[in-house]
Structure 1
């Protein structure tokens, strides 16, 4: 056999083995999700997507119902409200402005806030000339969150209330004194990212969701479905948005005005494929191209290294491998594993089953790790 034939044979064998591996993983994941759903039918449905180019994997799967009442089957391309995994998108937009030389995350927030927001926070005892953008990105600002039991109670009683960002900032400021001095404590709070979208608007003089679309290059990255609820219309060929449930509160997302979780702490509507693709492109250096700027996103931020929250993402281990992750209250989980160069997005349509969605993701990482 001459050299050319040997090369062609070797190439064929490699392609064949890669294809067999991909098919095997897909089959194993499907069986895993089917068995998990069979044991947890109250989850309504699970959808997931695996993006692992080095292992020739790019596939989605879904099981269950996108609507409990009509028993409409859930498909993996259906968009959902992703809730807090919106935060990495906001953080990436801020770092894109850093990359463009328009921001320094060590600058105080005072000059970027609207006069109303600056006054409200200052009157509540917050030192806006000491709180930096980095403090907001890492939840170390010490600002109390507007999200508490009273907030959820109000939403339950007024599901169609149209919240404004100003209302949410005022509510946060009215809940009491600062939780800590800037940089002295980690306190996860949506208010930090709500304020960051105000910063984006201050710098770019355009609504944050329009600016984010440009800064993150939705079109270039192939993110056709990704949009902010209420403010942006769905693409004409987009599958219908799935119903999501939060049984603890008796909520269905179709019955709530999206403004309760819209201004940066949450708010993005997309499907599991585009979630995974976004993380793959982001951490692959396709969105923030300056490596030093991108590295800031995954650099530890004191003082609380047990949480390992960096800038809009946290470091966590799945199946023993380090990953960059963010989960959301509406049952979503998104992670990128550098060692595997792989991204996994999982959603449970019933929010209380999010821990099970996380376990699905961990088991998928385990499958990829063993290959």
Structure 2
């Protein structure tokens, strides 16, 4: 009985120490974000969310403004366009189809494209019998991207122009010869993921945004405000979407039709809490339950170690620790750190300050690393 009571007492002391560590790190995260924001006020605002269940930490914070004209304060609950951070959602949806036995990523894309896309790609010199789904996922297809300086210039001059997916695919096919043979070179390009959403539709016979919602089980996994812009209505009582700026182009995303970045290369609107929750669940086997299939997402595709892109995620190192990461051009950054079992989501509201968001993420990884060490040392002392 005395032994049991002693064990219970030790457990309660350990639990209390973990809770104290969690409270301390929350303040440290807040101080870090505030300090970096104070030195980068043109970033407009930062929103951060950290999920680290092994450290009893689920914490979000925001500073700055969601609208720099009205000076209305930013809330961490406000959704933002996450741009290319959409790609891990699309990639996971493809792997869910693999898990369900609907396709194999080694299969050529020829049989999964619309006749229109197949014809345009073939006429442009692409061998769709050799380009695989895996090539699209890993940006090793050799297909030229429609996103270029001319594209951004057009958006600036025609902010309300409504792009279609077919139009973006057609634009890509008019840009010249293939960049490389399939699997022989890496070139990050939105066109790959635009084609993947077409493939998703041709397999599921549903619009890609509904298919992704169903395949990733948004509702069951607590992704309550996550949605594709324009096509899906926001949930009742969702906080107002924050303004996002790209000063290089003079953009406020409120003034742009979202179709310029909507069809898989980008397009999702969500907040930092649901972003971090998504990665936490994804890499803990809650969404793709088959471990072999989930492992495909983090496999090395090319032997060139300078290319750190896998299937919808990048492998990077923060504070000497491996992480699975993806960012978005409008200022989002999302990472899962396996060693810490932690996910960090960042949104900065002025796009050119995205590198600063990455620096915040790195600093938080350091804090989590040292916090975990403190927890371990405390438990060992007991």
Structure 2 counterpart of 1:26? 26
Deviation of 1:303 after TM superposition, in Å, equals: 4.8
Structure 2 counterpart of 1:57? 57
Q: Which runs of 4+ in 1 moved over 3 A?
A: none
Structure 2 counterpart of 1:111? 111
Which runs of no fewer than 5 residues in structure 2 stay unpaired? 372-382
Which runs of no fewer than 5 residues in structure 1 stay unpaired? none
**What are the Cα deviations for residues 175-203 of structure 1, in whole angstroms up to 9, with x where unaligned?**
11100010110000000000000000000
Normalised by the size of structure 1, how large is the TM-score? 0.99
Q: Does 1:223 align with 2:223?
A: yes
Report if aligned partners of 1:186, 1:304 keep a CA contact under 8 Å in 2.
no
Structure 2 counterpart of 1:240? 240
Structure 2 counterpart of 1:131? 131
**What are the Cα deviations for residues 125-167 of structure 1, in whole angstroms up to 9, with x where unaligned?**
0101110000000000000000000000000000000000001
- State how far apart, in whole Å, the 1-side matches of 2:305 and 2:293 are: 21
- State how far apart, in whole Å, the 1-side matches of 2:113 and 2:206 are: 14
Normalised by the size of structure 2, how large is the TM-score? 0.96
- State how far apart, in whole Å, the 2-side matches of 1:262 and 1:269 are: 10
- State how far apart, in whole Å, the 2-side matches of 1:105 and 1:57 are: 36
Count of matched residue positions in the alignment of Structure 1 and Structure 2: 371
Structure 1 counterpart of 2:120? 120
- State how far apart, in whole Å, the 2-side matches of 1:192 and 1:73 are: 37
- State how far apart, in whole Å, the 1-side matches of 2:240 and 2:61 are: 16
Deviation of 1:78 after TM superposition, in Å, equals: 0.4
- State how far apart, in whole Å, the 1-side matches of 2:205 and 2:304 are: 34
Report if aligned partners of 1:184, 1:303 keep a CA contact under 8 Å in 2.
no
Structure 2 counterpart of 1:100? 100
Structure 2 counterpart of 1:214? 214
Deviation of 1:305 after TM superposition, in Å, equals: 2.8
- State how far apart, in whole Å, the 2-side matches of 1:345 and 1:132 are: 31
Tell me the secondary structure at the aligned position of residue 224 of structure 2.
coil
- State how far apart, in whole Å, the 2-side matches of 1:239 and 1:230 are: 16
- RMSD over aligned CA atoms reads 0.9
| Cα separation, partners in 2 of 1:99 and 1:52, compared to 1, 3 Å | same
